[in-house]
Structure 1
Amino acid sequence: MNTLQDLDLRQLEAFAAVISAGNVTAAAKVLARSQPTVSRLIQELELSLGYPLFIRNGPRIHPTEEALQLHQYVQKALLSLQQIRLRAHEIGHQQHRPLNIATTPALAAGLLPQALALLGLQNKVQIVSQSAEQTTHAVITAEADIGLCSLPLDHHAVDLHWIGQSRCAVALQAEDPLANEAEIPLTSLAGRRLIAPWNPLRLRGRFEKALKKLKVPPHEMIETNSSANMLACVRAGLGVAIIEPVTAWGMPLEGVTIRPLREEIPYFFGVITPLGRQLSPAAVSLVEALEAAAEKLLPAFRRLPASEHQRVMLLINSH
């Protein structure tokens, strides 16, 4: 490890390419370099690190456990360097600064595109969908200009512009007898297999409390971290789902019927930006467009001021 200061970008690029491509030959084609050059760069990197990155078995190579651990950091660093290259080019050519948006997957797919469609976009847009916690972190560190995140969120470390509220829904296979009902009471789900979000600290916990209060035990559960997965499971006839409204109404899926849930289990999300940061005109416009899109998409949508955050958190924790 004494020669770690000798690491260079070409070695890291070669390492990442071999991991992604699966072999040196394919990596060389991706990098537009010769196979011996890529092999030499990998060997130099291994020498600098002091441990092997690949297990070689004739023409085949397999990454070591150390290589897999290292790759996640190298990949992130290379992506950051690529962003620097792009930003430097844009600054030099006086191009519009890109609008970086961090969002949870449900809001990224169900609401954000409809809001962006309301804007006369001149900026390049970058959308990164990730967990609520990662989305909030991206805004806190100013990696993102704007974030869309389900509550609860770290309110004090960001500027919260407004809170959206809508009612959760039930997703049913189109042939399900309950699909003929105007709205679905939780008691109708007794004994049914439930497709549920896996995270008990967010909507999952509130669903379970409501079911327990009404003494409605599900027959069994399928758990997933994606609302889109929930809809796909419902379409396949694997069960019914109590689902957040953004995906339910924003991503209609053939073969799946969405019905309002009779009991009110509200879904809350926030529009956030880095604390104290002056917003670009594009970001300001998007904050407004998101409200307009939510009003059009979500049944019983309410826009709550940021000052309601504490009350909303008490409401969430009481359910």
Structure 2
Amino acid sequence: MDLRQLEAFAAVISAGSITGAARLLGRSQPALTRLIQELEETLGFSVLHRSGPRVTPTDRGLRFHQEVEPVIAWLRHLRERAATIAADKPRSLEISAIASFAAGMLPAALQRLGADALPEQVHIRAALAEQVVQSVATHVAEIGVTSLPVDHPALEIHWIGEAPCVAAVRADDPLAAAETIPLAAMAGRRLITMANPFRWRRRVDMALDECGVRPAAILDANTSNTALMAARAGLGIAILEPVIAYGMPLEGVAIRRLDAPISFFWGVVTPYGRPLTPLVEGLVNALEALARETLPGFVKHPPAMRDRLMSDVFGPVSVPLRQAGRRA
């Protein structure tokens, strides 16, 4: 495969047409068409459906595009870094984080470091937890914030955070008058929660099962931001991780404690073996300081606690963690 072919394919998916992609890349339409044809010959399958001037990705094309996107991002960053080296400028800062951190706490942490400390180019990429891990492991991002579980040999975990999940309801919901919302209140109501069953959604399901509570319906989303907006629209009761709830207060939404402990765990990670720059080290510390100030019930865990905490994520453990000296 040729990088020009990959760029051509990514541009077609973004623009929705060969003509639009040619304009994006500054190439002629015949040249772009030829690159796509060469890519398909190399791959052994079609990536585009063609219907006159219109093109749509094939099923295989969509799956392949998911693999191409990080390569194109890496190439773009490589070109940018080469330009900064040529101009003898400080390198850019690439940050990857789950959406709740990317929207609220990360900008606040960068602001705390001071504008003068930041390089000319700062990139904050909101991504799913698995994508954050991949970005940091492949050195595309210099620092990442992701939910547990995190188990990758190419990552160095600097610290692990824990804070209790909360409930969010529309401000005029009768439950908003209470300081604490019981899990039993979910019975007969629509529950707004996260879609990924392998992360903290699992803990929510376990807590509901233990209480014998069955919601009348489920609305799940792939980001906490979406779940928060669904609660604001009055679509149900949301159980949220606390970062989005307290990091981005939303008018018209009441955030309340839950009567059952459902912890949210996250980790601050960098590429393994890569020395921290003063800027990245400052960001690691700023994120901790903000978590302590912003999140009620925040607990910082050392990296050595990862396996024990991951065991807790996937199921109950025989010894309560708070009795195991987990406070930092």
* TM-score range relative to shorter protein: 0.7 to 0.9
**Greater C-alpha radius of gyration:** 1
SS at match of 1:300: coil
> In the superposition, relative to structure 1, how do residues 99 and 10 fare at CA in structure 2: closer, same or farther (>3 Å)?
closer
> In the superposition, relative to structure 1, how do residues 144 and 39 fare at CA in structure 2: closer, same or farther (>3 Å)?
closer
Q: Deviation per CA, 1:31-66, whole angstroms, max 9, x where unpaired?
A: 334444444554555566676655544444444455
Percent identity, aligned pairs only, is 48
> In the superposition, relative to structure 1, how do residues 244 and 91 fare at CA in structure 2: closer, same or farther (>3 Å)?
same
Contact 1:104 1:149 in 2 (8 A): yes
Residue among 89, 94, 105 paired with 1:95? 89
Contact 2:194 2:224 in 1 (8 A): yes
Offset of 1:30 from its aligned partner? 2.2
Equivalent-residue separation in structure 2 for 1:258 and 1:167 (angstroms): 12
- Stretch moving more, 229-238 or 60-69: 60-69
Give the number of aligned pairs.
Answer: 313
Letter in 2 for 1:194: L
Offset of 1:71 from its aligned partner? 3.9
- Stretch moving more, 59-68 or 90-99: 59-68
Unaligned runs of 5+ in 2: 318-328
> In the superposition, relative to structure 1, how do residues 38 and 173 fare at CA in structure 2: closer, same or farther (>3 Å)?
same
Equivalent-residue separation in structure 2 for 1:266 and 1:301 (angstroms): 10
Equivalent-residue separation in structure 2 for 1:46 and 1:298 (angstroms): 50
> In the superposition, relative to structure 1, how do residues 279 and 64 fare at CA in structure 2: closer, same or farther (>3 Å)?
same
| Length-normalised TM-score, structure 1 | 0.87
Residue among 157, 160, 164 paired with 1:163? 160
Equivalent-residue separation in structure 2 for 1:101 and 1:202 (angstroms): 21
Offset of 1:9 from its aligned partner? 4.7
Q: Deviation per CA, 1:4-53, whole angstroms, max 9, x where unpaired?
A: xxx65544444433333223332332233444444455455556667665
Alignment of 1:58-69 (within 5 A): 58-65=52-59, 67-69=61-63
SS at match of 2:139: coil
Alignment of 1:5-84 (within 5 A): 8-42=2-36, 54-65=48-59, 67-84=61-78
Q: Deviation per CA, 1:100-120, whole angstroms, max 9, x where unpaired?
A: 222111222232121111112
> In the superposition, relative to structure 1, how do residues 211 and 159 fare at CA in structure 2: closer, same or farther (>3 Å)?
same
- Stretch moving more, 261-270 or 242-251: 261-270
Contact 2:74 2:140 in 1 (8 A): no
Equivalent residue, structure 2, for 1:129: 126
| Length-normalised TM-score, structure 2 | 0.84
Equivalent residue, structure 1, for 2:310: 313
**Does residue 79 of structure 2 align to residue 108 of structure 1?**
no
Computed over aligned residues only, the root mean square deviation of the Cα atoms, in angstroms, reads: 2.6
Residue among 219, 230, 238 paired with 2:216? 219
Offset of 1:308 from its aligned partner? 2.9
Letter in 1 for 2:94: N
SS at match of 1:258: strand
